[in-house]
Amino acid sequence: MQNAEFLPVNRADMAARGWDVPDFVYVTGDAYVDHPSFGVSIISRVLTAAGYRVAILAQPDYKSAEAFREFGRPRLGFLVTSGNIDSMVAHYTAAKKRRSYDYYSPGGKMGNRPDRAVIVYCNRIREAYGDVPIILGGLEASLRRFAHYDYWDDKVRRSVLVDARADLLTYGMGENILLRIAALLDKGVPVKKIRDVRGTVYLCAREEPVHYPVAAAFDYNELKNDKRRYAEAFGVQYRNQDSISGKAVVEYYDNKMLVQNPPMPPLEREELDRVYALPYARTYHPMYEKLGGVPAIEEVRFSVTHNRGCFGACNFCALAFHQGRTVRSRSIESVVEECKQIIAMPDFKGYIHDVGGPTANFRAPACDKQLKSGVCTNRKCLAPTPCKNLKVDHSEYIRLLETVEALPGVKKVFIRSGIRFDYLLADPDERFFKKLVRDHVSGQLKVAPEHCAPGVLDAMGKPHFGVYQKFRERFFELTKSMGKEQYLVPYLMSSHPGSTLSDAVALAECLKRDRYAPEQVQDYYPTPGTASTVMFYTGIDPLTMKPVFVPRDYREKQLQRALLQFNRPQNAAAVREALQKAHREDLIGTAPHCLVRPAAGAAPRTDGAPQKRSSASHRGRTKASAAPKAPVGRGDKGRGKSSPRVGKKKPVAGHKR
């Protein structure tokens, strides 16, 4: 509802409510945005609905403990999160350069949260209140709950729970976890005695008994020095992220033991509906208005999340380690009620920008087996090919979209979240595909083939390029038959583990054939909690324990990136260097198939015939089917939920993750 009252953000707010003390102080590294796309908002509303008093301490001055005394000592404890994303990812690019803009801070201003925010916040809380209960949550805590490779320090760091000196860490989606912890604290159970709550991690004496069966135990001193052992540990962690089949996982830190209890079961439909029916203001706190507002709200202001979880399980994505691989979704009625709230907003222009989620076209678990036995630990649902047990059904999603479209005041409903095109193609019923093309594309559809080389795609956990080619061909057939001018915007990634320079050349050739010139490409970014990050650090695929080539040299990364933007004049020298190193001089010349002209003074190659290639340089090449020519630079800014430029034909250039 639009007139929902914000939770207290200072002592005056608390006094106005007649509170002498809050039950929880929620410390966050993001500005306070009361919208269900923000974890702080959801958890605080869930706790408030259960009768607890929650105060929000957003982006406190972390240089001293004084700001953390704003509300006094809370009755039950502090909740701590860095915000919607990892603080290091928020602050630094893949090249480890400081970012200049923060979407989760007022006016986009940098510097409002510290690096490694949860550690800094917890240390300040300890300075202020000593042994007050501290519970960690959010993405940064969830993905750093075990010993983890840290790209910025280039080493294996300890669990963030150890470094932060907090009492409990919650991982995954935290509604029921926090309700259980709050109930125990409210009954007077000491936080150090809370040991059996699913979805939590705690630190205890090494000899203390563990409440759940243990899958495996690892020693940090071994993990930080033995890459193979580290890869094995991640494999165990990954295979125990299911609430049905998962067991506890243990790590030793000298005389201490870190225990991860099995995951909390995902919220079922009725529970999700209740969460999204809570009163959200759906915007940022008014105290930020004079500072320019909070940019992140623009991505989600007119969007709706209808599902959670993702059985796509891309290796570079942290969803499998955070939300999990089992999908749950909201009822059509729940989504419609939220859309009615959006329609009532004074600045709504008739366009629902997204009805999506982690993957827009997932509405249910991948198969019936998952409901009884949990997700498979030895294979993925979709890659490299769809599992024979996969249930493909878009019918409910179609009904959802049709119902939202029929609401008074709605002109158009777009799908801006990722569409899993291999799942779409696995559906023998083309109704959704046709509806997608006809009704839900705002000129361009973002899809994620990521690469074209089979070896790279295998390392990514993605389907082979032929699947994308088939999807693309059919997309343009449908587009043409409907008399529309629409484009695909493919996400591409350079330098992912498994990608050789020859693979990058193959991708550049593919782009040349398809006449696509991306304005931006994504360099692979090793972030905590993903299988790809383990590959980057160890050179081992933790899910198969097979070796993987890793492009580590900074110059090679530059060359791979330049190849994906071979048409840019400023990249010409780098492209020539890359082609020479890959023994692909046949692509240097003026013939139609060439990627770059010869350097000044060099004899041009004009015969138009590619040279004979070695098997190594040929690896990963795929034949691309013809596609309608898209203007150079067609791209789109923002991965996942984003605001379309409704009514404008020229799209935003480039894309970013």
E strands of 175-227, at which residues? Answer: 200-205, 214-219
At 258, the pLDDT band (50, 70, 90 cuts) reads very high
Q: Record the tokens describing residue 143, joined without a space.
A: 């993905």
What tens digit of pLDDT does each residue of 629-648 get? 333 233 333 333 333 222 33
E strands of 451-581, at which residues? Answer: 487-494, 522-523
Residue 622 pLDDT > 50: no
As a residue count, the chain comes to: 657
Number of CB atoms found within 10 A of residue 479's CB: 19
Measured CA to CA, the distance from residue 260 to residue 203 in angstroms comes to 9
Kindly report the pTM of this predicted structure.
0.90
Residue 140 pLDDT > 70: yes
Contact between 280 and 3 under an 8 Å Cβ cutoff? The reply is: no
Peptide bond before 358: cis, by omega within 30 degrees of 0? no
Share of the chain above pLDDT 90, in %: 87
All structural domains of the chain: 11-201 (3.40.50.280), 302-440 (3.30.750.210), 442-657 (3.30.750.200)
Residue 464 pLDDT > 70: yes
Query: What does pLDDT average to over the chain?
Result: 91
CA dihedral (630, 634, 639, 641) positive or negative: negative
**Average pLDDT of span 160-172:** 97
Q: For residue 152, how many C-alpha atoms fall within 13 Å in the half-sphere facing its CB?
A: 15
In this prediction, residue 122 carries a pLDDT of 98
What tens digit of pLDDT does each residue of 353-387 get? 999 999 999 999 999 999 999 999 989 999 999 99
* Residues 6 or more apart whose Cβ sits within 8 Å of residue 352: 302, 303, 304, 339, 342, 404, 410, 412, 413, 414
What tens digit of pLDDT does each residue of 346-355 get? 999 999 999 9
What tens digit of pLDDT does each residue of 388-413 get? 999 999 999 999 999 999 999 999 99
In this prediction, residue 614 carries a pLDDT of 36
